[in-house]
Amino acid sequence: MTYKEEFITFMVRSGVLTFGDFTTKSGRKTPYFINTGNYKTGAQAAKLGDYYAACIQENLPEGVTCLFGPAYKGIPLAVAAASSLYRNYDRDLPYCFNRKEVKDHGEGGSMVGYKPQDGDDVVIVEDVVTAGTAVRESIELFKHVAKVNMKALIVSVDRMERGTKDCSTLDELRQDHGIAVYPIVTVREIIAFLHNREIDGKVYIDDAMKARMEAYLAEYGPRA
């Protein structure tokens, strides 16, 4: 299997990618849900880092100064990705993350880990982007830290849903901020791989579930 196919299988087995009836924060009724909070073991963290690292290596083999993990979910993702990049590709990239509350004692400041410098090429490591709020907050945060180049955003899954415009949220981020966006997998790749395929004796996307997911994308996907 490709690393993308392995990642989809990994999400299913970890109970992170689930199917049924869910409601997103935006109130949309969705037939599938991605809950990265279900990653909870050292083995899962190591494998997850490997998938992020593979995506970074494939799309950004050079020209990256540091990885940034937005608090809170982005923190372990950035650490795991940095560890795997060193272990698997001999790339020793520094990482940093932000505090939700600025520290006013000790060394102070809002950033932990590597201290970004003017001219740095920064890659944001996130889980699943729905509205893009955390990414926009990260871009705004760095305006008060250093004059960096927000080079790319790495996410686990592109849900391929509209944001505030007719295009997808990730395309909106590309257009508004000139940032490259690379998902490990897209929902289309998930559908294509899992449709009528058994994982551990169970089919997660049968014809009925595929139809529900296609209907959801038809309603909430990009209009452009």
Q: Kindly list the catalytic residues.
A: 103, 105
- CA-based nearest residue to 25, from 150, 151, 128, 143: 128
CA angle 83, 143, 141 (to 5 degrees): 60
Q: Is 100 annotated as a binding residue?
A: yes
Q: Is 89 annotated as a binding residue?
A: no
Neighbours of 105 (CB within 10 A): 5
Q: Is 129 annotated as a binding residue?
A: yes
Q: Is 25 annotated as a binding residue?
A: yes
Q: Is 131 annotated as a binding residue?
A: yes
The beta strands (E) that lie in 87-148 are given as: 95-103, 109-113, 121-125
Q: Is 91 annotated as a binding residue?
A: no
DSSP tally for the chain: helices H, then strands E: 7, 10
Contact 20, 31 (CB under 8 A): yes
Would you give the end-to-end CA distance of the chain in angstroms? Answer: 32
Q: Is 159 annotated as a binding residue?
A: yes
Q: Largest Cα–Cα distance of the chain, in whole Å? A: 58
Q: Is 143 annotated as a binding residue?
A: no
Q: Is 126 annotated as a binding residue?
A: yes
Q: Is 99 annotated as a binding residue?
A: yes
Q: Is 103 annotated as a binding residue?
A: yes
Looking only at the bridges linking them, the beta strands covering 180-186 and 149-158 are: parallel
Q: Is 202 annotated as a binding residue?
A: no
Structure tokens at 101: 């509350």
Neighbours of 187 (CB within 10 A): 19
Q: Is 132 annotated as a binding residue?
A: yes
Q: Cis omega before residue 52 (within 30°)? A: no
Q: How far apart are CA 24 and CA 42, in angstroms?
A: 28
Which residues carry a binding-site annotation? 25, 72-73, 99-100, 103, 105, 126-134, 159
Which residues carry a binding-site annotation for orotate? 130, 159
